Chains A and B, each alone.
Chain A
Amino acid sequence: MSEYLVNIENERLSFFTPAGEVKALNDVSLQLREGEVLGIVGESGSGKSVTAYSLMGLTAYPGRLIGGSLQFNGHQIDQMTEKEMRKIRGNEISIIFQDPMTSLNPVYTVGDQICEVVMLHTDKNKSGANERAKELLSLVGINEPEKRLKQYPHELSGGMRQRVMIAIALACEPKLLIADEPTTALDVTIQAQILELMMELKEKLGMAIIMITHDLGVVANMCDRIAVMYAGKVVEYGDANDIFYNPSHEYTKGLIRSIPKLTEKEHSKLIPIEGSPVDMLNPPAGCPFAPRCGSCMKICLREMPPYTDVTDIHYSACWLLQKQEFEKQQAQKGDA
């Protein structure tokens, strides 16, 4: 039906809090092909997790989808009932979370929790599920799977728990794995293990991954495509090289400038993005990044910038790009 595994178009989602409406997602569009890795980067509160959760039909109260279309693997997610969604969740889409301790149930053994998922989505019996659980644990690189199956989550280390979470997520060989800051709670050396494992599994199982993170390093390592989010809006979308070597949105540029580089030989001052993140209850009328932007123009304060193509697969929402187009047109008029 479509060339994309995931196609989100103009998604709008708001949280109706007692203090007022929070536009958590404001015109979000994303595409992802089969077997690709999409990175969503942004600050806390920029809506990156909300986007991914809404794709699984998991929008927490008081949030509500108020517009746009979400397609996944031929399903129209925004039209589906909770019952239909349940068949897809854990089966075609799976998710792993930031904190592997709180996402595992402490009173059940690791084996129980994997078997539960296997039995829920397949017609395997208890012993069949147990076999599958063992298979999954060795798939995610856990030694002595039989011993581990009988252990409780608190007996495992953080990295090990995240491996178990991945095993559970992969139980039905999903087409899409959503990873919500999967390594933020882990140490660097453990993070490297988990990221390597995810890449290996991606090759082996041919699934697509949506990687939600605030760490540009993780994105650069893993992702084919990157969406940069700011204040509930995808401000720039493109492939990894476009974003890192040819960023066109001022926020992306600022973000890349502001991180210290380990490989740098000389000490140079960091160039930070000034100001504070947006107050989502009371966002500015125009571009949400305008108050912090170094090249802010008058129109940025009034109007939301439209998406402008940089190349076929690279677009961004910034008035500066519109300015370039505008000047080109003016020059053409002048010539004529």
Chain B
Amino acid sequence: MMDNKYLVEVQNLQQYFPVSGGKLLEKRVVKAVDDVSFGIKKGETLGLVGESGCGKTTTGRTLLRLHEPTAGKILFDGKDITNVNMLPYRRKMQIVFQDPYASLDPRMTVGDIIGEAIDIHRLAANKKDRQEQIISVLSTVGLNSEHANRYPHEFSGGQRQRVGIARALAVDPQFIVCDEPVSALDVSIQAQVVNMFEQLQEERGLTYLFIAHDLSIVKHISNRIGVMYLGKMVELADSYELTFHSMHPYTRSLISAIPIADPELSRKSNRIVLEGDVPSPVNPPSGCRFRTRCPYADELCALQEPEWKEVSTGHFAACHHLDKLN
């Protein structure tokens, strides 16, 4: 199973969180991520989409061991990092957060926020070197030295997100988890940030895990896309393959639910509107987790969990009725 061409790989990753409430002393868990496996090649962008509570953010954070995984393996550059001291790997794997308001310490200047990364890993020889590094990383994200002495609340959302990206870049990582990095931004700013991610990838050969709920942005930036539903990966394929030849009924309904910004096209398009709501991850349905909302579900789906199989080269899906559907 060891495959060296992946820079980052997770195998059968599980992340369960205990939940309080319910009856006294009753132990319940949220199966936030349940048996997820994928790999990301060097220089590639893997997109991860799904609705809130599907476990995409948890997957990204567990991958960086910001949560300790319940089970499964995480590999970086072929080495198992599930149980090692993470400090040397913190320089290689970074994260950019969704909310540019919450992810910057309001009491620190932008210079100090970026300098913190430099200090922790002792990347600067002296004060002057530190200052130069800060300014150079600020300029890569389109900010200047004048911004270094300002506090986060003085910036607009887009600028704050640039600071968040600069912080991640300060340690010169190889891999960045982008956790919904544009969904809190205004539409006109989103494209700026997306372009910056693309440009940085070209210049530095970065590898991304790009998490978002907006499939159109994920499709734009990613080489491959994984779709998650209730802690499970349901489909994984090349991004064009996935958007135009999706196999899993959930992926299909997700794609058709996205409103197209084109009046003619959207009038013509046939919507598949899913019934009902996402079930609670504390008590997920038996068998296939999507069966409660799936238009094709039958008894088999309730009894047996569908197998994760490669349907065509590089196109994985987990559904009992793939043959019937395609």
B255 touches A262 (CB 8 A): yes
Known: A221-B260, A240-B263, A256-B261. A262 touches B278 (CB 8 A): no
B187 touches A159 (CB 8 A): no
Of B32-40, B89-97, B188-196, B298-306, the one touching chain A:
B188-196
The residue among B213, B255, B259, B273 with the most chain A CB atoms within 10 A of its own CB is: B259
Q: How far is the CB of B190 from chain A (nearest CB, A)?
A: 7
A244 at the binding interface (Cβ < 8 Å): yes
Q: Looking at the complex, which one of A157, A219, A258, A292 makes contact with B191 (CB distance below 8 Å)?
A: A258
Interface residue SS majority, chain B: helix
Q: Looking at the complex, which one of B187, B257, B278 makes contact with A255 (CB distance below 8 Å)?
A: B187
B266 touches A274 (CB 8 A): no
Known: A192-B271, A260-B216, A261-B216. A277 touches B156 (CB 8 A): yes
A189 touches B257 (CB 8 A): yes
Q: How far is the CB of A275 from chain B (nearest CB, A)?
A: 9
Cα(A15)–Cα(B264), bound, Å: 39
A259 touches B261 (CB 8 A): yes
Chain B 240-274 interface 0/1 with A at a Cβ cutoff of 8 Å (1 = within): 10011000000001111111111111100001011
A220 touches B186 (CB 8 A): no
Inter-chain contacts of A303 with B (CB < 8 A): none
B192 touches A262 (CB 8 A): no
A216 touches B187 (CB 8 A): yes
Inter-chain contacts of B216 with A (CB < 8 A): 259-262
B51 at the binding interface (Cβ < 8 Å): yes
Q: How far is the CB of A242 from chain B (nearest CB, A)?
A: 10
Q: How far is the CB of B274 from chain A (nearest CB, A)?
A: 5
Of A77-85, A112-120, A263-271, the one touching chain B:
A263-271
Inter-chain contacts of A215 with B (CB < 8 A): 187, 259
Inter-chain contacts of B168 with A (CB < 8 A): none
Cα(A193)–Cα(B255), bound, Å: 14
The residue among A192, A244, A261 with the most chain B CB atoms within 10 A of its own CB is: A192
Cα(A188)–Cα(B213), bound, Å: 8
A187 touches B52 (CB 8 A): yes
Inter-chain contacts of B260 with A (CB < 8 A): 217, 220-221, 261-263
Q: How far is the CB of A273 from chain B (nearest CB, A)?
A: 4
Q: How far is the CB of A132 from chain B (nearest CB, A)?
A: 25
Inter-chain contacts of A188 with B (CB < 8 A): 51, 213, 215, 254, 257-258
Cα(A190)–Cα(B53), bound, Å: 13
B220 touches A192 (CB 8 A): no
Cα(A244)–Cα(B215), bound, Å: 21
Count, chain B residues at interface, CB 8 A: 45
Once A and B bind, how many residue pairs between them come within 8 Å at the CB atom? Answer: 136
Q: How far is the CB of B113 from chain A (nearest CB, A)?
A: 19
Residue in chain A with minimal CB distance to B186: A43
B219 at the binding interface (Cβ < 8 Å): yes
A217 touches B217 (CB 8 A): no
Inter-chain contacts of A270 with B (CB < 8 A): 191, 194-195, 220
Chain A 243-264 interface 0/1 with B at a Cβ cutoff of 8 Å (1 = within): 0100000010011101111110
Cα(A188)–Cα(B158), bound, Å: 24
Residue in chain A with minimal CB distance to B158: A276
A276 touches B159 (CB 8 A): yes
A217 touches B259 (CB 8 A): yes
Chain B 215-234 interface 0/1 with A at a Cβ cutoff of 8 Å (1 = within): 11101100000000000000
Q: How far is the CB of A245 from chain B (nearest CB, A)?
A: 8
Inter-chain contacts of A244 with B (CB < 8 A): 261-263
B187 touches A196 (CB 8 A): no
Known: A187-B52, A258-B191, A260-B220. A217 touches B271 (CB 8 A): no
Cα(A160)–Cα(B293), bound, Å: 15
Inter-chain contacts of B146 with A (CB < 8 A): none
Chain A 184-221 interface 0/1 with B at a Cβ cutoff of 8 Å (1 = within): 00011111110110000000000000000011111111
B172 at the binding interface (Cβ < 8 Å): no
A272 at the binding interface (Cβ < 8 Å): yes
Inter-chain contacts of A196 with B (CB < 8 A): 271, 273
A261 touches B186 (CB 8 A): no
Cα(A146)–Cα(B240), bound, Å: 46
Question: In residues 164-203 of chain B, which contact A (Cβ within 8 Å)?
Answer: 186-192, 194-195, 198
Inter-chain contacts of B215 with A (CB < 8 A): 188, 262
B262 touches A220 (CB 8 A): yes
Q: How far is the CB of A280 from chain B (nearest CB, A)?
A: 11
A329 at the binding interface (Cβ < 8 Å): no
Residue in chain A with minimal CB distance to B188: A273
Inter-chain contacts of A160 with B (CB < 8 A): 277
A261 touches B253 (CB 8 A): no
Cα(A196)–Cα(B273), bound, Å: 8
Chain B 288-304 interface 0/1 with A at a Cβ cutoff of 8 Å (1 = within): 00000100000000000
A151 at the binding interface (Cβ < 8 Å): no
Cα(A270)–Cα(B190), bound, Å: 10
Cα(A191)–Cα(B254), bound, Å: 11
Inter-chain contacts of A157 with B (CB < 8 A): 277-278
Q: How far is the CB of A260 from chain B (nearest CB, A)?
A: 4
A122 at the binding interface (Cβ < 8 Å): no
Residue in chain B with minimal CB distance to A239: B263
Q: Given contact pairs A192-B259, A272-B188, enumerate 9 new A-B contacts (beta carbons under 8 Å).
A: A189-B273, A190-B51, A192-B257, A216-B261, A217-B259, A220-B261, A220-B263, A221-B263, A259-B187
A selection of 13 A-B contacts at a CB cut-off of 8 Å is A188-B51, A188-B254, A191-B257, A192-B259, A192-B273, A217-B260, A244-B261, A258-B188, A260-B191, A263-B260, A265-B244, A272-B195, A273-B189
Residues of B within 8 A of A (CB): 51-52, 156, 158-159, 186-192, 194-195, 198, 213, 215-217, 219-220, 240, 243-244, 253-266, 271, 273-275, 277-278, 293
CB-based closest 3 A-B pairs: A217-B259, A272-B191, A260-B220
